[in-house]
Amino acid sequence: MNDWETTSGVVRLNLLLFTVGGVCFAVDAEQVDGMSGYQTGESGNLLWFHELLGFGYRDVTYREPAVLAIKTVESGSCRVIIDNMEDIAEYSVSDIVPLPALLEPFAVRNGIWGVLKRDSVLTLLVDFHRIANLPDILLRITKECIP
Amino acid sequence: MASEHATTLKSEKVLESIKQAQRSKEIVDVDQDMVKIVIFESCGACYGFYGADIKEIIQQSQISWVPGLPEYLPGLINVRGDIESVVDLHHFLGGDAATDEKPVIAMVVRDDFRSGVLVDAIVDVLDILVSEIKPPLATLQGAARELVCGEFQYGDKPVTLLDSEKLASKIRI
């Protein structure tokens, strides 16, 4: 039995919900080591969430930024700045649907692997371990941090 | 009385001519295949999809943007609990990206291709004779050329018939 399965067979995920640039996201709380407030001007292995996910030309304003410490598979941990932390809550896997086949190849590169349906709100599920260029980004910011 | 029966009544003649006309029409209907077409506007021109490929027209749907997608995929829509992708046809027809916040979306389903397709407006849904569809002009220019499978007249307007299979093959990676 996986650790996200209950003895009754109901599969549930503990999700951390937040909003960046008006888009709702959720990440498995197991990938998060900790959370702290963001101090203006703070630096050191910090990644802005919208840069990590390829928001492109869209302007993103952070109103209530917070820093998530993320466990990464190979590189220890990294810190990602998110916005509008909403909730940490348990959801059934039955509330999650896969991405449409047409979008999936593009979205998965950015770590987006599914959609959580909450009433009429579509929340994009992000797996930091599936962001294709995360190792390159981590390598870059690590080099930038070395004086 | 006998003379009345000997000559055919005018009403019989009229009735027979009507029946004859109906039989002729039935023969035409049998011989000429009809096809349903959904006509829509995009980038200021009229286009069509085969009706068999359009499962639904969705009005005023909110598109949820997804980061990292190419420009021709504006995002997701929620269709009664089913999450569907959306394709912006403007990208393939040579226009600017669609900007309507709650646009009209045609749900296109053909073989393993399934997606909403953003259009400016639905013009009509009608049955036409297959023979009315002409091959696309060899001189047809522009981005739409690779998607076209025929042309026909709708009143005084030309309608360019798009092939959803060709659209699908351009989008798949």
B84 has a chain A CB within 8 A of its CB: yes
The domain tally of chain A equals 1
A141 pLDDT more than 60: no
Confidence band, pLDDT 50/70/90 cuts, at residue A135 = low
B150 with B161: CB under 8 angstroms? yes
Q: What percent of chain A has pLDDT over 90?
A: 47
Which has the higher per-residue pLDDT, B19 or B162?
B162
One-letter amino acid identity for B45? A
Residue A7 covered by a domain:
no
- Answer whether B77's CB lies under 8 Å from B155's CB: no
Q: How far apart are CA B35 and CA B129, in angstroms?
A: 6
B76 close to A (CB below 8 A): yes
Q: Is the minimum CB–CB distance between A130 and chain B shorter than 8 Å?
A: no
Residues in contact with B142: Cβ distance below 8 Å, sequence separation at least 6, in sequence order: B93, B94
Question: Do the domain assignments include residue A101?
Answer: yes
Domain range enclosing A68: 12-145
Using CB atoms within 10 Å of the CB of residue A12, give its burial: 0 to 12 exposed, 13 to 18 middle, 19+ buried: middle
State residue B65's pLDDT score. Answer: 92
Single pTM value for the model: 0.79
Of B73, B81, B112, the CB nearest to A103: B73
C-alpha span between B152 and B50 (Å, rounded): 12
Mean pLDDT, chain A, rounded, equals 83
Average pLDDT over residues A41-51: 83
Residues of A in contact with B87 (CB under 8 A): 102
Q: What does the pLDDT look like over A79-116, one tens digit per residue?
A: 899 999 999 999 999 899 999 999 999 998 889 999 99
- Indicate if the pLDDT at residue B156 is higher than 60: yes
Q: Is residue A4 part of a domain?
A: no
**Residue A11 DSSP one-character state:** B
Q: Please report residues of B whose CB lies closer than 8 A to that of A117.
A: 78, 81, 83
- Res. A145 pLDDT band, cuts 50 70 90: low
Chain A interface test: which of B62, B66, B117 (most A C-beta within 10 Å): B66
pLDDT tens-digit series, residues A47-65: 899 988 888 777 899 999 9
* Mean predicted confidence (pLDDT) in B86-106: 82
Q: Are B79 and A115 in contact (CB under 8 A)?
A: no
Flag whether A1 is in a domain: no
A102 and chain B in contact, CB less than 8 A? yes
Which residues in chain A are closer than 8 Å to B110, comparing Cβ atoms?
none
Residue A2 inside a domain? The answer is no
Task: Say which residues have a Cβ less than 8 Å from residue B90's Cβ, sequence separation at least 6.
Answer: B42, B43, B96, B97, B98, B118
